Amino acid sequence: MEKRKLENITNVIVVIGAGSIGQAIARRVSVGKQVVLADLRQENADMAAKILSDAGFKVSTTKVDVSSRASVQALVKTATVLGEISGVIHAAGVSPTQASPETILKVDLYGTALVLEEFGNVIARGGSGVVIASQSGHRLPPLSVEQNALLATTPVEELLNLPMLQPDQVKDSLHAYQLSKRGNSLRVMAEAVRWGKRGARVNAISPGIIITPLANDELNGPRGAGYRRMIDICAAGRAGTPDEVGTVGALLMGSDGAFITGSDLLMDGGVTAAYWFGELAPK
């Protein structure tokens, strides 16, 4: 009888950030499961839900502001009412062109740490999560051992008070973004220890230029020439697609990736390699 009850429990995949990358991963890991699509803008969640529903997925939607603990806690409650949370895809964020340094740190750094903490409290045994970081985190110069530890383990509500994150230290949006994405990778590593105690795994993916609406904002923004140069010079000679990120996400969240946790997989077509050791290296 107990076994039958367990078999009837609904497995829930929570997708935070209803854009192209979140959808691409969800399509590969959510067959037969309940998908909860959460986005800051309800209309974005609704549009993504229609696409997935039309493809045969069972989907519900809700709003979430990842920079608000109360909002993230409400999302956790909404999802746990539906069943056991077996997967979390955190793909929400803002880019350097879209926001101020303060907003980037609040959404991309604090928001990710908050999501990892709250969902790490409820993730099911055997569950997995993936955080979308960025190649930008790999272009930040090395931090000290102490700085790494602070970004990885500082209590979430104290994170933005770190001296290294104050306005006199972080003066532009790109620097804020690079710090946030490096922080995401470090936070995933630290949280993998805690998630592991629940029998769950969590990893990060650091994509390069993936053609999404956010990437198009960058390509058409003030840094567009630099982004196009990255595409032209990198080994792949092109930008990536959400489906390619989806494939990596499926590996990390599925049984084939069962020995991978606390990792950050860089997939950027060779841009970072060219930045440190090739034609994109700073003069």
Tell me, yes or no, whether 181 lies in a domain. yes
Tell me, yes or no, whether 6 lies in a domain. no
Q: Is residue 177 flagged as an active site residue?
A: yes
What is the predicted pLDDT for the residue at 98? 83
- Which one from 106, 110, 177, 275 is the annotated catalytic residue? 177
Strands of the 264-267 sheet, one edge to the other: 58-63, 34-39, 11-16, 84-90, 128-132, 201-207, 264-267
- pLDDT tens digits, residue range 154-192? 999 999 999 999 999 999 999 999 999 999 999 999 999
Q: How many domains is the chain built from?
A: 1
Give residue 162's domain range.
Answer: 11-275
pTM: 0.95
What is the Cα–Cα distance from 166 to 247, expressed in whole angstroms?
37
- Which one from 110, 181, 227, 275 is the annotated catalytic residue? 181
Which CATH number covers residue 161?
3.40.50.720
Under DSSP, is residue 35 helix (H, G, I), strand (E, B) or coil? strand
What is the Cα–Cα distance from 107 to 105, expressed in whole angstroms?
6
Q: Is residue 110 flagged as an active site residue?
A: no
- pLDDT tens digits, residue range 110-143? 999 999 999 999 999 999 999 999 999 999 999 9
What confidence tier does 7 reach under pLDDT thresholds 50, 70, 90?
low
